[in-house]
Structure 1
Amino acid sequence: MEPYAIVDESGFPVVWIRFTGNKSTDQNFQTYLAQTKACYRYSKPLAIIFDASNAGIPSLSHQKMQADWLKENKELMINYCAGTAYIIPNAAIRAILKVIFSFQKQPVPYQIFESEPEAEAWVQSLVLK
């Protein structure tokens, strides 16, 4: 199975999730969602940088799965996620994010950036208790 995203917790409390550009399948998308949820297993504050520079457009069903994940994990995010930064240089992918958020509002502060340095600076400005 080709991964949909790589979750890198090596810099915890800052977690990087880099989309690979591989086509979303039910299996790799579920794996990505499970790995994202696993970042919360320490019950400690964190911030997430989603790097969608190489992201492909997920199917509508996977967009809905992402929205459902946000809804199901809303309390977890509110309790532990200081914020999420999205690196999205592609306008089409930015539009997809808006579709996902139309299904389910993002429950924590977020910003969309076009480059890594901007996203990293914003995440570093968050207070990670």
Structure 2
Amino acid sequence: MDPYAIIDESTFPLVNIRFTGAKSTDENFRAYLEQTKACYRHEKPLAIIFDATKATLPAISHQKMQALWLKDNEGLMKQYCLGTAYLIPNPAIRAVLKMIFSFQKQPVAYRVVRTVDEGKEWVESLLKWT
């Protein structure tokens, strides 16, 4: 199974999630959601950068799974996630993000950024207050 995303916690509380370009499947998309949730196991404030530079369009069923994940984990995110930066150069992928948020509102602060550095600067500004 090719991973849908690589989750890097090596700079925790800054978490980097990089989409690989692999096509979404039930198996790799579930793994991505489970690994994302695992970032909250520390029960400490965190911020996330989603790098969708190589992202492919997820199936509509996976978009709905993402929306359900947001709904199911809303309390966890509100308690620990200070914000998420989304690096999404592809307009179609930005449209997918909007669609997911139309299914389920993003429960924490977020920003769509143009570069990884811009995203890092923004989330690090959020982490300074912890």
Q: Which stretches of structure 1, 4 residues or more, deviate above 2 A after TM superposition? A: none
More helix by share: 2
Cα-Cα RMSD: 0.7
Q: Give CA-to-partner distance per residue, 1:51-110, whole Å, 9 cap, x none.
A: 000000000000000000000000000000000000001111000000000000000000
In the alignment, which residue of structure 1 is the partner of 2:83? 83
In the alignment, which residue of structure 1 is the partner of 2:66? 66
In the alignment, which residue of structure 2 is the partner of 1:124? 124
Q: Which SS does the other structure have where 2:3 is aligned?
A: coil
In the alignment, which residue of structure 2 is the partner of 1:18? 18
Matched, 1:109 2:109: yes
Q: Which runs of 5+ in 2 are unaligned?
A: none
Q: Which SS does the other structure have where 2:11 is aligned?
A: coil
TM-score normalized by structure 2? 0.98
In the alignment, which residue of structure 2 is the partner of 1:54? 54
- Which letter maps to 1:126? L
- Which letter maps to 2:108? V
- Which letter maps to 1:91? P
Deviation at 1:114, TM superposition (A): 1.7
Deviation at 1:117, TM superposition (A): 1.1
In the alignment, which residue of structure 2 is the partner of 1:96? 96
> How many correspondences in the alignment?
129
Q: Which SS does the other structure have where 2:41 is aligned?
A: coil
Q: Which SS does the other structure have where 2:42 is aligned?
A: coil
